[in-house]
């Protein structure tokens, strides 16, 4: 059986790439819902429905035992409900994981006392990061800033327009004592270097950038070592598939650019 990774669009490809480099022996099936991207400003119920359909596809058609929702917005809008109601009824022996708890654990592990968050409007409005941090370490200060325009830039291969937009977002952290910025959307690691440089310029000091592609592989390996009943069901013959729900030449090119090498990406109907 396979590991599924799912995102609203192409951002999750970066996470998938880092998972594949860290665990190349496993089989990965990536699905990006490019037909419906962006999810960031949609209602929670709509994001839940889109996510559930994609998860169902990965379980039914791609033989996934475990799915990583490599999307913060879909994680906050759908993960808990899927884990509590859908999985027990339909697939009690399969698992779905998200990206928010591993990120919060990373903040705690690194002993930050004050952090900034860039995320979609939906993720920021939900305060899911604030809620999860408070459960574990209420004294950590969190300053959140919605950064929705970075998503279409990534999806449309429009990197040249990113710097002024990143600047305007980072300006929200002036006068805040943050030590790190959480990239709370899986599209943003695409601009990791620019975000680090622009933060240094605007805030006048080095700011750590917490990028989910860097720590999710360790978190997944840790999960599998604690759950041999899942790991033992996973095939290890290095097969990877990449699928999206809408396709055009620009998506194909951008998927290759994000992944860093040629990949075969196919359209699927869900
Ligand atoms: N990549 C998604 C996330 O991590 C959101 C992008 C979108 O708005 O669809 O939140």
DSSP assignment of 137-195: -TT-EEEEEE-TTHHHHHHTT-GGGHHHHHHHHHGGGTT---SEEEEESTTGGGGHHHH
Which two tokens mark 102? 């591993």
The rounded Å distance from CA 71 to ligand 1 centre is 5
Give first-to-last CA distance, the chain, whole Å. Answer: 20
Section 244-260 average pLDDT: 89
At residue 239, the pLDDT reads 97
For residue 8, give the ligand 1 atom closest to its CA: 9
Is the distance from CB of 36 to CB of 11 less than 8 angstroms? Answer: no
Query: Above 90 in pLDDT, residue 110?
Result: yes
For residue 179, give Cα distances in angstroms to 118, 197, 209: 14, 14, 9
For residue 119, give the ligand 1 atom closest to its CA: 10
Domains present along the chain, CATH in parentheses? 2-98+213-267 (3.40.50.1860), 101-212 (3.40.50.1860)
Q: Which one-letter DSSP state was computed for residue 29? A: E
Based on DSSP, count helices (H) and strands (E) in the chain, helices before strands: 14, 10
DSSP E strand stretches across the chain: 2-7, 28-32, 64-69, 95-97, 114-119, 141-146, 180-184, 208-210, 240-244, 265-267
What is the band of 261 on the pLDDT scale with cuts at 50, 70, 90?
confident
Mutate which of 42, 50, 74 to test ligand 1's pocket (most atoms within 8 Å of Cβ)? 74
The rounded Å distance from CA 139 to ligand 1 centre is 28
Mutate which of 30, 36, 39, 128 to test ligand 1's pocket (most atoms within 8 Å of Cβ)? 39
Nearest to 48 by CA among 90, 85, 99: 85
What is the band of 254 on the pLDDT scale with cuts at 50, 70, 90?
confident
For residue 185, give the ligand 1 atom closest to its CA: 4
Query: Above 90 in pLDDT, residue 253?
Result: no
For residue 99, give the ligand 1 atom closest to its CA: 4
What is the band of 262 on the pLDDT scale with cuts at 50, 70, 90?
confident
Of 79-93, 182-196, 252-266, the least confident: 252-266
Pick 249 or 26 by higher pLDDT: 26
Section 262-269 average pLDDT: 94
Residue owning the nearest CA to atom 8 of ligand 1: 40
pTM: 0.95
Query: Above 90 in pLDDT, residue 241?
Result: yes
Percent of the chain clearing pLDDT 70 (strictly above): 100
The rounded Å distance from CA 23 to ligand 1 centre is 24
The rounded Å distance from CA 188 to ligand 1 centre is 9
At residue 260, the pLDDT reads 84
Which residues are catalytic, by number?
Answer: 71, 185
The rounded Å distance from CA 72 to ligand 1 centre is 6
The rounded Å distance from CA 124 to ligand 1 centre is 12
Average pLDDT along the chain: 96
Ligand 1 cavity residues, CB under 6 Å: 7-9, 11, 37-40, 71-73, 120, 123, 151, 185-187
DSSP H or E stretch at residue 253? helix 249-259
Task: Quote the CA–CA distance of 37 and 26 in Å, as a whole number.
Answer: 27
At residue 73, the pLDDT reads 97
For residue 186, give the ligand 1 atom closest to its CA: 4
């Amino acid at each position: 059986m396979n590991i599924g990774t799912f995102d609203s669009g192409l951002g999750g490809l970066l996470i998938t790439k880092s998972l594949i480099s860290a665990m190349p022996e496993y089989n990965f099936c990536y699905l990006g819902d490019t037909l419906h991207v962006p999810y960031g400003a949609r209602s929670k119920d709509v994001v839940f429905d889109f996510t559930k359909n994609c998860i169902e596809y990965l379980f039914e058609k791609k033989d996934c035992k475990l799915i990583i929702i490599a999307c913060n917005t879909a994680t906050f809008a759908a993960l808990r409900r899927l884990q509590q109601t859908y999985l027990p009824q339909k697939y009690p022996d399969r698992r779905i994981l998200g990206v928010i708890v591993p990120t919060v654990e990373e903040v705690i592990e690194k002993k930050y006392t004050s952090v900034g968050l860039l995320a979609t409007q939906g993720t920021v409005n939900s305060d899911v990061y604030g809620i999860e941090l408070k459960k574990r370490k209420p004294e950590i200060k969190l300053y959140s800033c919605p950064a929705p325009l970075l998503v279409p830039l990534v999806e449309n291969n429009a990197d040249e327009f990113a710097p002024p937009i990143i600047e305007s977002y980072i300006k929200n952290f002036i006068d805040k004592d943050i030590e790190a910025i959480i990239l709370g959307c899986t599209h943003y690691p695409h601009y990791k270097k620019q975000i680090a440089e622009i933060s240094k310029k605007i805030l006048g000091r080095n700011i750590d950038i917490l990028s989910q592609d860097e720590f999710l592989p360790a978190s997944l390996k840790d999960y599998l070592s604690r759950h041999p009943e899942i790991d033992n069901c996973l095939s290890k013959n290095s097969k990877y598939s990449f699928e999206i729900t809408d396709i055009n030449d620009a998506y194909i090119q951008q998927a290759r650019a994000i992944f860093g090498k040629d990949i075969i990406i196919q359209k699927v109907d869900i």
